[in-house]
Structure 1
């Protein structure tokens, strides 16, 4: 995919077509300390990502209870000059169910957003974030309060750009009406297994529309407003690229066969085909690869150099949804 198709590039942010998701950095979601082995594992993942041209890294304050950002901070401190070569994106707005701190919940209060950013910067050991995303829609959100918090973070230089995650068009629209800073990213679950982003459009005025949960109009709204759509879970936990699928629904097994056939014909990996399917969409979707395994990261290398034909794209889509158009 041509990088100029990315909305982020049109915002003068030189982001790569692929993002490395760092949710698995730091090991388990426990309170155990970070080890040198975990830092080494992170280094290997970043090295593999850099090798295939990835300069965009996605984190969140809750990933492995903050350890992911600590590990990434160690990597930055041990690879001099790396910070200036990459785009760092993190998320806030989820509070984990820790001891004496109440239930797991969403919190987009102004005070929590600002405190979260201070924590993120401290763990990463950096002076600013390139992009901050609000992690989930908070039913108790006050849009004006959020807008004021984002404006303060921007004015202070702590965050350069902002976006959201897992939100529909009307939720974004309401936030944008209440803040002076542009919201330029929306990260959603999209893959060959999670095809709601396509189904929401093609099932309009058809009986299947009643079963859709993906927010209708979100893809179109983001395209119209020049908002970068990012796909979390784009490899569908390996369902189409080597994970055992026996016993899965027939659509999965059929899609695996089609993925492998096209991969053989193209001379590339199955991972590259699965990602290229997403990147064919005219919205310029940016897949967030959530793996820490270097070999799996490298297997995505060719996704950016191939473009599926309409025939191939619809063949994969039809296999996944289990029906012809």
Structure 2
């Protein structure tokens, strides 16, 4: 699979990340088969979070991959922390404790990447900096990033944190493309012109921060997938036409649409179906034309000014 550099780091990562949020839904045999199948396809970047399956997802993954020193060197592990029941917590104590729990569940001594999950408005960035310094000096985390954060929130962290922020995990799909749409509708009086994220797309490109789109097939906030959905007839018709042209599935085209953007994004796909994961991976071999990209964008109901 094609690779990119993660942010400003020297870490080469596949353009498709395997999201492990739902791996706790698989039994032991199915989880092992899925993980091994992913590795055979070159999908060795696995995205976790301490809240997925209440921690069970990380444990199941470690067991499924038969984690040991040899296996560890062949995979790239990313996890997230900062969400607690009824609150968010970026305190130094919570970050350090969370990472220790993550490492224990994943049966490893270090994470390749740690992301701060959803923004904590009570964050003391000096504490985050102390936590990152300690995790780095102890070799527990090699690279750091964030999730669902605006440019200003990232800049506030960067004022105190010395490690580069290499990734920002954000919701993005063909139907959830406000970070793209507001860039078209500058100074326009319509909903698409509403700047909901502080121009995070352009900011991340300027700062060499890799955007990791999550829920690349969802519309709304986990309302369902748009593929093969009667709510999106024009979009599915357009995607199916292009999929037939390239001899691939509609899943492949939906991911290829994201990869076509020059921001060099790394979609996080959460499927636990091996055939569908393979379709996602094929997207790294498909480069849509400009006409095809805009055709899909407009078919989703996105209006150009």
Q: TM-score normalized by structure 1?
A: 0.87
Q: Which of 118, 134, 152 is the equivalent residue of 1:170?
A: 152
Partner of 2:22: 24
Q: 1:288, CA displacement in angstroms?
A: 0.4
- Secondary structure of the residue that 2:190 maps to in structure 1? helix
Q: Which of 50, 54, 59 is the equivalent residue of 2:39?
A: 50
Contact 1:201 1:216 in 2 (8 A): no
Partner of 1:239: 225
C-alpha separation in 2, matches of 1:285 and 1:119: 29
C-alpha separation in 1, matches of 2:87 and 2:28: 29
Q: 1:214, CA displacement in angstroms?
A: 3.5
Q: Which of 77, 87, 93 is the equivalent residue of 2:76?
A: 87
Partner of 1:220: 202
Runs of 4+ in 1 over 6 A off after TM superposition: none
Distance 1:174 1:324, change over 3 A: closer
Give a deviation string over 1:143-195, Cα, whole Å, max 9, x none: 11111111111111000000000001110011011111111110000011211
Partner of 1:306: 286
Contact 2:151 2:203 in 1 (8 A): yes
- Secondary structure of the residue that 2:27 maps to in structure 1? helix
Give a deviation string over 1:238-287, Cα, whole Å, max 9, x none: 73434xx23x2xxx221111111100011111111000100111110111
Q: 1:302, CA displacement in angstroms?
A: 1.5
Q: What's the C-alpha RMSD, in Å, of the aligned pairs?
A: 1.9
- Secondary structure of the residue that 1:136 maps to in structure 2? coil
Distance 1:222 1:306, change over 3 A: same
**Paired residues, what number?**
301
Q: Which of 17, 21, 30 is the equivalent residue of 1:41?
A: 30
Partner of 1:261: 241
Q: 1:213, CA displacement in angstroms?
A: 5.6
1:177-188 matches, cutoff 5 A = 177-188=159-170
C-alpha separation in 2, matches of 1:301 and 1:164: 24
Deviates more, 1:177-186 or 1:37-46: 37-46
Distance 1:116 1:185, change over 3 A: same
Extract unaligned runs of 5+ from structure 1. Answer: 28-36, 97-103
